[in-house]
Amino acid sequence: MNLFAETWSYLLDGTHWTGDGGLLARLVEQLLLTVTALGAALLVGLPVALWLGHRGRGGFLAVNISNVGRAVPTFALLAVLVSADWPGSATLGPYGRAGLATLIALALFALPPIITNAYVGVREVPHEVREAARGMGMSERQLFRRVELPLALPVVASGVRLALVQVWATATIAALVAGPGLGRIITEGFARNDYAQGMAGAVVVAGVALVLELAAAGVQRALDPLPRGPARARDDDVSEPAATVAGAPTGG
């Protein structure tokens, strides 16, 4: 019980939140790492996965390659990148020591859920919906933009949500190569046998992860173009969502 009381006291002490090495500064550093790595993964993985999903080709290879990425420990990948001549352990602006290596490792870690969910989301759009859209004279580009993408957005957002929380929690590994982030608070605390500091850093990581999860879940629900609830039957006429998403009238 003493450890929990000491951790709580550490968190309530304002001096531990201020300064260059304080909790707030480390939290901002980790958020910067997380957002940048996630953004890079989205730029690389999302267009490819959406295009493959629309084409219906290459998905097996893409999904299985991304699944292999899940099996590679992020810290092991980071150790390899830091040991190599490039990117090495050079300092990269606000991303700190081994900043580029850390960003690459985190971005690769974020790719599997993004690629898998984006591909599956587009492929799971019912065939009847696609045919209904084509029957209304849509081009392939219009079909993707006005039908497939809106209907796939909840599944795509689910992958981004998973990647966001995973990358945030994993970004603490930057401290193992003397990088920035809340991992520094944790490792420094345990290295000095200051367990209250180490626990406080871990509590902040967990708390922010919960906030990010809830915020991402809200965004995911907002992106769903179809109402969800007990009043909506699962076997609704598939032509209705097709017409709704396409912007065509559904009435007579």
Length of the chain: 252
How far, in Å, CA of 124 to CA of 63, rounded?
14
pLDDT at position 1, please? 57
Q: Which among 162, 132, 125 has a CA at the least distance from the CA of 50?
A: 125
The answer, yes or no, to whether residue 57 has pLDDT greater than 80, is no
Structure tokens at 43: 């730029």
pLDDT at position 233, please? 43
| pLDDT tens per residue across span 192-213 | 999 999 999 999 999 999 999 9
- Domain 2-71+103-225+237-246 part of CATH 1.10.3720.10: yes
pTM of the model: 0.86
| pLDDT tens per residue across span 6-36 | 999 999 999 999 998 999 999 999 999 999 9
pLDDT at position 227, please? 59
Domain residue spans in the chain? Answer: 2-71+103-225+237-246
Q: Give the distance from CA 82 to its chain's centroid.
A: 23
